[in-house]
Amino acid sequence: MDAQSLPSLIVIWLTFAQSICSECINESVVALPVTEVVLSNEHTVRGVPISVGTPPTNISFLPEAVYNDTWIYNSTEDFCNWTTPAACFTLRGGLYDTNSSTAELKDDVQDAGADASDTERATGPNIWYNSWATDDLTFGGVKLTGYPLGMPGFDIFTPYNSPTDQAQIGVGSNSTFLTALKEAGKIISRSYSWWFGLVGAIADAQMDGLLAFGGYDTAKVTGNNYTKALAPSSLSCTSGMNVIVSDLVLNFPNGTDASIISPYSGLSSCIRPDFPGIFTFPWDPYYNSFEALTATSNIGREQGTGGYGGMLYWPGEVYFGDLTIEIDSFFKIRIPNELLVIHPSNIVDNGRTQYNDTVREVLLDPTVGVNQGDTSILGRHFFQAAYLLVNYDSDSFTIWQANATTESSLLSLGNECPDPGSKVAKNDTSDSNTAQSTSSPLPSATEGRTSDISDDTISENSSESNGISSEAIAGIAVAAAFVSGGLVVLAFLYILRRRKRQATIASADSSTQLTPANQNNGYDFNGQPPVYEPMSQEMQEMGGDAQAREMSADQKPIELSIQKSRASHRTTAYELGSP
């Protein structure tokens, strides 16, 4: 190696180091929008757009933490006997036609190659009656061929099963969707992240969300996070994401605060990204406290088709402040009023979603009667203000305050990447009620919402996060280690090569002087035989082939009807999995 070749080798090494340090960024993440999906009936329903079958049918899916398989209602069995076929089509997010040219009917869940846990005859939210097919799914530039699809044999929107009316992507711990993506090489880790987006009462509080597989969007999180170990799935919390809601704080427009929970104890709660509404909790004493503190009185519960089950109020008599939800006494998520109080929606007979401007809906769901003792639920609309990451590889989940933005910066999770969901609290053992976070006052979820983030906004977000994140620091450290290590090795090899060349020249000169023609006849001036001090066991470069290889890596106004034929309240109680 000569001095002229050293810069070239340094460039090669820097390129290699850069490729390693950027390997996690925007690689191996399948990111899908949560948006108003246009169905074949030309109406919309909020969800994740996935095309099914051939010719492709646009279906609106939602993630379902209860199940592991993918469930979709078919066109011959929609189970909507309380409404019109047109309204049912929208409610279901579209219907699957098994006459698709690529559909192949299967005998059962095993024959379809899906996970059998969703259909087991056991106590819980299981779908005993079902049929199966395999077909092609297309989404986000990805195509899964022969993918297993379960079709329920009854309406699984019941107190004992899923609270989601439409098609569902099971994202449980044995998710067939995650498995298919990983086997296809589209993701590295068995993980998903969820931000529902904004479905608020005003235009500025409306924005598409994101469902990402294999990683999360760092642009959509802000501040410190809350990370905790996943608990085993149970009847009280099928998702395994158990938390204690230690306080519910009313943030009044005049700047004063009031606690709904104090002096009562905290609420054992379950995170359910599929469940409609922000929070379910007992009417007595907690919702009574809410109405007493806010001096409001509800006029009933929302019961429209496709609605969220919140409490209704006259527009001038509704709460106008924010709500802060405190988890485990230290981590806080603030929900602005425009996300807490909305215009109720209803899917009318022609299949269109209409909004009622004559009343307001508070997205809180108080439980009553026999359901009052149910585990409370942090649901889908909580994830307007919060961002969720679930990492099954590390058996953990992480929550951040959401940063509502259209900007995106995807981070893939994997063994070789810094993983915020892989670090459970140091004091977390078998007790799943321990968690880690360093909490600080967080901004409203609708702060800084813009399609173009200015330098000031970036600086503000950075300061809220107390500087550079630990993931960025880890990435920088890895980069520095590779670069500095490479430079040291290259410099060492260069010095060795130079010394070897000098030694060779010196040896050649010495040989000339010690020829038989030399007047000393091969001896030194003292008449002794010449003593050679060559580099003993001559040093060589490390062996290896010359070919560089990449490291392996494994959604106008009309009055709402306050009637509905189905159950007016959802519960988490479970019985045997029959309709």
Pick the range with the lowest mean pLDDT from 137-146, 363-372, 435-444, 479-488.
435-444
Higher pLDDT, 479 or 49: 49
Q: What's the rounded Cα separation, in Å, for the pair 84 and 478?
A: 59
Interval 491-509 mean pLDDT? 49
Sign (positive/negative) of CA torsion 156, 161, 166, 168? negative
Residue 160 has a pLDDT of 39
Residue 447 has a pLDDT of 44
Q: What's the rounded Cα separation, in Å, for the pair 407 and 347?
A: 31
Residue 414 has a pLDDT of 82
Residue 44 has a pLDDT of 92
Q: Which amino acid is residue 215, in one-letter code?
A: G
pLDDT band of residue 264 (cuts 50, 70, 90) is: confident
**pLDDT above 60 for 458:** no
Q: Which amino acid is residue 319, in one-letter code?
A: Y
Residue 474 has a pLDDT of 45
pLDDT band of residue 171 (cuts 50, 70, 90) is: very high
Q: What's the rounded Cα separation, in Å, for the pair 439 and 329?
A: 10
Here the tokens at position 149 are 């699809």
Measured CA distances, 82 to 39, 42, 155, 567, 568 (Å): 21, 22, 11, 12, 14
Catalogue all structural domains in the chain, each as residue range(s) with its CATH number: 39-186 (2.40.70.10), 201-469 (2.40.70.10)
Sign (positive/negative) of CA torsion 533, 534, 538, 539? positive
For 389-430, the pLDDT digits (tens) are 999 999 999 999 999 999 999 999 985 554 444 433 333 333
The long-range contacts involving 200-207, CB below 8 angstroms and separated by at least 24 positions, are 200/336, 200/338, 200/339, 200/342, 200/384, 200/446, 201/338, 201/341, 201/342, 201/343, 201/360, 202/338, 204/338, 204/446, 204/449, 205/336, 205/338, 205/339, 205/446, 207/404, 207/406, 207/449
DSSP-derived 3-state class of residue 493 = helix
**pLDDT above 60 for 104:** yes
Which DSSP state fits 103? -
Higher pLDDT, 356 or 443: 356
How large a percentage of the chain has pLDDT more than 90? Answer: 45
Interval 305-321 mean pLDDT? 90
Interval 53-68 mean pLDDT? 92
**pLDDT above 60 for 479:** no
Interval 107-112 mean pLDDT? 90
**pLDDT above 90 for 450:** no
pLDDT band of residue 547 (cuts 50, 70, 90) is: very low
Q: Are 142 and 163 within 8 A, CB to CB?
A: no
Residue 499 has a pLDDT of 53
Pick the range with the lowest mean pLDDT from 97-106, 241-250, 502-511.
502-511
Residue 409 CB neighbours (<10 A): 13
Which helix (H) or strand (E) segment holds residue 480: the answer is: helix 470-513
Residue 461 has a pLDDT of 37
pTM of the full structure: 0.71
Interval 272-288 mean pLDDT? 93
Q: Are 32 and 39 within 8 A, CB to CB?
A: no
**pLDDT above 50 for 536:** no
Pick the range with the lowest mean pLDDT from 117-131, 342-356, 520-534.
520-534
Here the tokens at position 190 are 């068995």
pLDDT band of residue 346 (cuts 50, 70, 90) is: confident
Residue 76 has a pLDDT of 78
Q: Strand 167-170 and strand 57-64: pairing?
A: parallel
Q: What's the rounded Cα separation, in Å, for the pair 74 and 93?
A: 11
Higher pLDDT, 264 or 60: 60
Residue 299 has a pLDDT of 95
Residue 495 has a pLDDT of 55
**pLDDT above 60 for 471:** no
* Of the candidates 194, 217, 244, 242, the residue with the CA atom closest to the CA atom of residue 388: 194
